[in-house]
Amino acid sequence: MFHSFYFIPNKVMKFIVSLLFTFNVALCHAQKSSQPLRASDYTYVEFTTNLDGKQYPLVFAAATEQDTITVNLTNIQLFINSVYASCPYIPITNNAYEKCYGLAFGHSEDTFSDCQAFINEFNMAFKQLEQKGYITLFTGEKIHYACFRIRGAFLETDKETFWKETLSSIGISDSSSIHKIIVPIAISNYKKRRVFFIQ
């Protein structure tokens, strides 16, 4: 008879159970709405650059399962194309997250509140754990990036119908380089990314 067991702290156990419940509910709703939902580990990477003549910076985000992203440094458009050639696009707008929460959990006031709480938690964790760096394009433009590791549930959306939800005055306006859009809707673990390269 096997008597050994691992002790899991009560807070951790509650968090695991609540995440499993969240994932199960989201999976049911996502299947009804035909939006694929899956659990995965990603490095979330957010890029920021100031373009000549623009009042606001350009901000865009991606997810990768690798520890390296290979990019084209010729100019900003080719850089963006190269990032999304191998990485899913992650929206930066609250509207995109609210839409996905509605698809995953059903539209309600509680769902909206949960979404706002998740966005706040995600942003706080990002500020605490982000690893920063920058690269310079051949045109002289400097692109700053920050990243951290996330594990959780992600909703894959249909680009054709969902793109308008991702639009922002500081984001990418052309969807031609985007092949896949995913949105994190429940994160079980945020971690600092110790090793990450953009080359």
**H or E element, residue 16:** helix 10-32
pLDDT digits (tens, 9 = 90+) for 127-185: 999 999 999 999 999 999 999 999 999 999 989 889 999 999 899 999 999 999 999 99
Q: How far apart are the first and last CA of the chain?
A: 53
Residue 1's pLDDT is what? 38
- Angle of helix 109-129 relative to helix 94-105, nearest 10 degrees? 130
> For the purposes of burial, counting CB atoms within 10 Å of the CB of 91, is it exposed (0-12), middle (13-18) or buried (19 or more)?
buried
- Give the pLDDT of residue 5: 40
Rounded CA separation 134/172 (Å)? 19
- Between 52-56, 60-64, 92-96, the lowest mean confidence (pLDDT) is in 52-56
CB 11 within 8 A of CB 85: no
Q: What is the pLDDT of residue 194?
A: 84
d(C-alpha 147, C-alpha 131), whole Å: 5
pLDDT digits 0-9 by tens, 75-130: 999 999 999 999 999 999 999 999 999 988 889 999 999 999 999 999 999 999 99
pLDDT at 17: 44
Report residue 65 CA to chain centroid gap. Answer: 12
Does the pLDDT at position 3 exceed 50? no
Task: Read off the pLDDT band of 20 (50, 70, 90).
Answer: low
Burial of 155 (0-12, 13-18, 19+ CB in 10 A): buried
Single pTM value for the model: 0.84
Average pLDDT over residues 70-76: 97
Q: What pLDDT does 22 receive?
A: 53
Both tokens assigned to 145: 């990036």
